[in-house]
């Protein structure tokens, strides 16, 4: 078990965050902040980590074996995100560096955003706004911007963790949707019943669902789990929503399916290589694009920041992190 320290540790806050969170950390640590929100190149991040025992990260900072070898004093990296594909977790564990994330506090907000994108894609909201702003709306027409129903349709969820289950509840209870899901492991029957969802194979889900929602973490195994072959299984009238991570979807294959009418619409909050967006997606009229704002409400972002700060305080001062990803480090 890590022992409490008697001197003030030094921590780096790698991106701009709420000022009161900096104040909270400063009561316990020597804090180097980044109020200008500079995107430091790797060499600069390494330089600023010298002499630091902790770092508050936001998903933008890659923590891997090469960086850790140059920062021998680092003990904890606290991510202000539920995802942690910026962490090389095995390398961190081997180096004795604790990794933490911010699960739970963003579940409901991110599920709300998933439904917002699903509905905007299905009902062609973005297309409609562009149509109106361009001055093209001059009359009613029976087929003007007609889309797909959400209520009473079939929702397919790939990934059934906290956020997936929150989406299932919204679909089943709020919109009377038939909810099917696919996951690496099936939920207990009681959990399925609680959210009104039925387990199916990935292939059946893609063939059956009117709306497909992706809520899986990114890993080497989940890279491009939706590619050209998977898109070909989906109904031409279906929509695809990705609120998980970029790289889960082959963005080029998706753009081709949207452009060629093999998929009705998509809603995307995450992208391969973000903040860059595939230019072919930008050219598609039938896709709703948002800049990774799934958790972007004031209460949720504050809760995420507090949890990251509390992980730093809990571990560096007391040896007790709240949400460790590699807890064996904390108990070593």
Concerning whether 48 is annotated as a catalytic residue, the answer is: no
Give the active site residue among 32, 108, 204, 274.
274
**256 vs 247: CA distance, rounded Å:** 16
- Listing DSSP states for 252-307 in one string gives HHHHHHHHTTSS-EEEES--TTTTS--HHHHT-TTEEE--S-TT-SHHHHHHHHHH
CB 211 within 8 A of CB 239: yes
Give the active site residue among 224, 292, 302, 306.
292
The CA radius of gyration of the chain, in Å to the nearest whole number, is 22
- Listing DSSP states for 208-246 in one string gives H-SEEEE-----TTTTTSBSHHHHHHS-TT-EEEE-S-T
* Among 317, 259, 320, 294, residue whose Cα is nearest residue 82: 294
Give the active site residue among 124, 182, 211, 245.
245
Tokens representing residue 270 in the block? 């995450």
Concerning whether 162 is annotated as a catalytic residue, the answer is: no
Give, in order, the Cα–Cα distances in Å from 229 to each of 128, 199, 206, 224, 254.
Answer: 30, 21, 11, 10, 11
- The enclosing H or E element of 116 equals helix 107-122
β strands within 106-203, DSSP E: 154-158, 178-182, 197-199
Concerning whether 108 is annotated as a catalytic residue, the answer is: no
Would you name the residues annotated as active-site residues? 245, 274, 292
């Amino acid at each position: 078990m890590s022992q409490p320290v008697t001197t003030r540790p030094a921590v780096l806050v790698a991106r701009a965050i709420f000022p009161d969170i900096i104040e909270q950390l400063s009561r316990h640590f020597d804090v180097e902040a980044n109020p200008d929100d500079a995107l430091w190149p790797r060499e600069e991040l390494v330089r600023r980590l010298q002499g630091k025992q902790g770092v508050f990260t936001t998903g933008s900072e890659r923590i891997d074996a090469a960086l850790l070898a140059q920062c021998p004093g680092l003990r904890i990296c606290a991510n202000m995100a539920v995802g942690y594909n910026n962490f090389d977790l095995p390398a961190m564990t081997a180096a004795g560096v604790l990794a933490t994330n911010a699960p739970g506090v963003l579940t409901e907000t991110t599920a709300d955003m998933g439904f917002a994108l699903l509905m905007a894609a299905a009902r062609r909201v973005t297309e409609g706004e562009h149509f109106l702003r361009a001055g093209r709306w001059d009359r009613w027409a029976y087929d003007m911007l007609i889309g797909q129903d959400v209520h009473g349709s079939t929702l397919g969820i790939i990934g059934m963790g906290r956020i997936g289950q929150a989406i299932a509840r919204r679909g089943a209870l709020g919109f009377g949707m038939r909810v099917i899901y696919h996951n690496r492991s099936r939920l207990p029957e009681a959990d399925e019943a609680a959210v009104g969802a039925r387990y199916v194979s990935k292939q059946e889900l893609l063939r059956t669902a009117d709306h497909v929602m992706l809520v899986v973490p990114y890993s080497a195994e989940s890279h491009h789990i939706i590619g050209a072959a998977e898109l070909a299984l989906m109904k031409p009238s279906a929509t695809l929503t990705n609120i998980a991570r970029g790289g889960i979807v082959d963005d080029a294959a998706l753009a081709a399916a949207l452009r060629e009418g093999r998929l009705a619409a998509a809603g995307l909050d995450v992208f391969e290589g973000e903040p860059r967006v595939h230019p072919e997606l930008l050219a598609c009229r039938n896709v709703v694009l948002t800049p990774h704002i799934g958790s972007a409400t004031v209460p949720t972002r504050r809760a995420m920041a507090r949890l990251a700060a509390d992980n730093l305080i809990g571990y560096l001062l007391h040896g007790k992190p709240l949400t460790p990803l590699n807890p064996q480090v904390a108990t070593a």
